[in-house]
C-alpha cells in the first residue's frame, strides 16, 4: 500500500480514499506536501494542521466552482464542486465531532456535493427515503441508456465513510445499466450527523425501507435489486440480505464476519482498560471519539458490549442470494480470514471469493491501493447476476 505519510497510516489511508472518491493527486499533494512534519507530531499527527490544509484546498475548489458557474461553464463547475466536496470531507473527518467546525465543514461537504449533483449529466437525484419518523439520506445515479424498468443496486460504505465517498462506485454501476441508490444508513454520514441515527446491528431494517421505496419507482424492476457495500458495509450488507430476500445479489468489498473481534484488534481493546491503540498508525480511518459517536456509546466498555451483536455467524447460513466477496490480502482492518469465513458459512449456490495479493495490487483495505480491477470485477458481476435474474442477456 502506498503510504504518502510513511509513519501515519490513517492520514495515508485518507489520501487514498480521497483519490478514489474523485480527488486529483496534484491537488491533494499540494495540500499534503506541507504536512510531512505534521504527520509525525504526537500520537496521531497535528490534526489542526491537517484540518487547515484540507479546508484551504476545499475552499479553493469551491471558489473555482462558483467562478465557473458564473461564467456559464457547467461542466467545470460540476467537476470543481465534486472535488471540493471530497476535500471538505477530510477537513471535517478528523476533527473532534463536538468541534463546531466539524458541522460547518460537513455542511460545506454536502453543499458542494449537492452543487455537483445538480449540474452533472445526467443529473444526480437527491432523495430522502422514508424510515419511520425519520428519513434515510440518499442519492440516485440513473442507469446509462436505460429504457423502461431496469435493475437497481443499493450502495453503502462502512464505519466512518459516507454515500458521497462512494460516488465512483455508483457511477461504475450506472454505466453498466444499473440504477444505483447510495445511502447513509444509521451511524453513517448525514443519518448520523444530521439526524442522530447511530449504528445498529440489524441493518436489514433500514435496508428494508430502501427496498420498499425502490419498489415504488416506475424505473425499477423490483425483481432485480442488488446491494454493493464496502468496509464495515462488509458486515452491514451480508447481515441485511440474510433477512431481506427481495435482494437478489450482494457484493462486498472487504468482508467483516466478526465486527467485535476485528474492532477489538484494531483499537487494542482490553476489557477494563478500553482502547489502547488509537494513534495514527492504528488500522483506523477516524478517531476513537468519532467511533464512539457512531456507535452511540459513551465509552469503550459499552461500545464493545454493543458490538457483541455485530457478528454474522448467527445469521450467515440464512444468506442464500448470489454473493461476491473481494478482499485485500494485506487488509489491516479485517484479515482475509474474515472473507473466507463468510464465504464458507453462507448457503448461496452462486458465490465467489477473490482475494487480491500484494504482487498484483489491490491488497489493502477495500483494495484502495489499486482499486482496479476489483471495482470492475464487482460491477461486472453485479450486472451479470441481475441480468440473470431477468432471464435477459445483455453485454453491459
Neighbours of 42 (CB within 10 A): 10
What span, in angstroms and rounded, lies between the C-alpha atoms of 228 and 250? 6
Residue of 144, 369, 169, 139 whose CA lies nearest to 251: 169
Nearest to 64 by CA among 20, 115, 123: 115
Looking at residue 123, its pLDDT comes to: 84
| 20, 368 contact by CB (below 8 A) | yes
* C-alpha cell at position 369: 491501493
Is the torsion defined by CA of 58, 19, 281, 290 positive or negative? positive
Residue 394 has pLDDT above 90, yes or no: no
Catalytic positions: 231
Name the average pLDDT for the chain: 96
Q: How far apart are CA 314 and CA 243, in angstroms?
A: 12
Pairing of strands 134-141, 269-270: unpaired
Three-state DSSP state, 225: strand
- pLDDT at residue 391 tops 80: no
- Take residue 72 and report the three cell numbers written for it: 456559464
The residue with greater pLDDT, 123 or 115, is 115
What domains are defined for the chain? 1-121 (1.20.1440.110), 122-258+311-396 (3.40.50.1820)
**pLDDT for 253-278, tens place per residue?**
999 999 999 999 999 999 999 999 99
Q: What is the pLDDT of residues 293-331, one digit of tens each?
A: 999 999 999 999 999 999 999 999 999 999 999 999 999
DSSP classification of residue 228: E
Minimal CA–CA distance to 259: which of 322, 303, 209? 303
Amino acid at each position: 500500500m502506498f503510504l504518502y505519510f510513511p509513519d501515519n497510516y490513517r492520514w495515508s489511508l485518507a489520501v487514498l480514499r480521497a483519490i478514489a472518491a474523485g480527488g486529483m493527486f496534484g491537488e491533494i499533494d499540494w495540500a499534503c506536501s506541507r504536512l510531512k512534519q505534521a504527520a509525525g507530531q504526537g500520537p496521531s499527527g497535528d490534526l489542526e494542521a491537517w484540518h487547515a490544509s484540507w479546508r484551504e484546498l476545499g475552499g479553493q475548489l469551491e471558489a473555482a466552482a462558483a467562478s465557473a458557474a458564473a461564467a456559464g461553464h457547467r461542466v467545470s463547475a460540476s467537476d470543481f464542486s465534486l472535488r471540493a466536496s471530497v476535500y471538505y470531507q477530510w477537513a471535517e473527518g478528523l476533527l473532534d465531532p463536538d468541534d463546531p467546525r466539524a458541522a460547518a465543514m460537513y455542511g460545506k461537504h454536502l453543499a458542494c456535493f449537492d452543487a455537483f449533483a445538480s449540474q452533472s449529466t445526467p443529473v444526480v437525484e437527491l432523495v430522502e427515503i422514508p424510515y419511520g419518523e425519520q428519513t434515510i439520506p440518499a442519492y440516485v445515479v440513473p442507469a446509462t441508456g436505460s429504457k423502461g424498468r431496469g435493475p437497481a443496486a443499493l450502495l453503502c460504505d462502512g464505519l466512518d465513510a459516507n454515500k458521497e465517498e462512494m460516488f465512483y462506485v455508483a457511477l461504475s454501476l450506472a454505466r453498466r445499466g444499473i440504477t444505483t441508490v447510495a445511502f447513509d444508513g444509521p451511524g453513517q454520514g448525514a443519518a448520523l450527523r444530521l439526524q442522530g441515527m447511530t449504528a445498529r446491528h440489524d441493518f436489514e431494517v433500514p435496508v428494508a425501507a430502501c427496498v420498499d421505496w425502490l419498489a415504488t419507482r416506475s424505473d425499477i424492476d423490483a425483481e432485480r435489486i442488488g446491494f454493493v457495500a464496502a468496509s464495515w458495509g462488509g458486515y452491514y450488507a451480508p447481515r441485511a440480505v440474510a433477512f431481506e430476500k427481495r435482494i437478489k445479489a450482494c457484493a462486498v468489498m472487504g468482508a467483516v464476519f466478526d465486527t467485535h473481534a476485528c474492532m477489538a484488534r484494531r483499537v487494542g481493546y482490553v476489557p477494563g482498560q478500553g482502547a489502547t491503540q488509537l494513534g495514527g498508525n492504528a488500522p483506523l480511518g477516524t478517531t476513537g471519539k468519532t467511533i464512539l459517536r457512531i456507535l452511540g456509546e459513551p465509552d469503550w466498555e459499552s461500545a464493545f458490549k454493543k458490538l457483541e451483536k455485530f457478528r454474522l455467524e448467527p445469521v450467515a447460513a440464512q444468506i442464500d442470494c448470489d454473493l461476491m466477496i473481494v478482499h485485500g490480502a494485506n487488509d489491516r482492518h479485517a484479515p482475509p480470514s474474515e472473507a473466507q469465513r463468510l464465504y464458507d458459512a453462507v448457503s448461496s449456490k452462486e458465490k465467489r471469493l477473490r482475494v487480491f495479493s500484494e504482487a498484483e495490487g489491490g491488497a489493502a483495505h477495500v483494495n484502495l491501493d489499486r482499486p482496479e480491477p476489483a471495482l470492475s470485477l464487482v460491477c461486472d458481476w453485479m450486472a451479470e447476476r441481475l441480468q440473470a435474474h431477468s432471464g435477459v442477456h445483455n453485454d453491459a
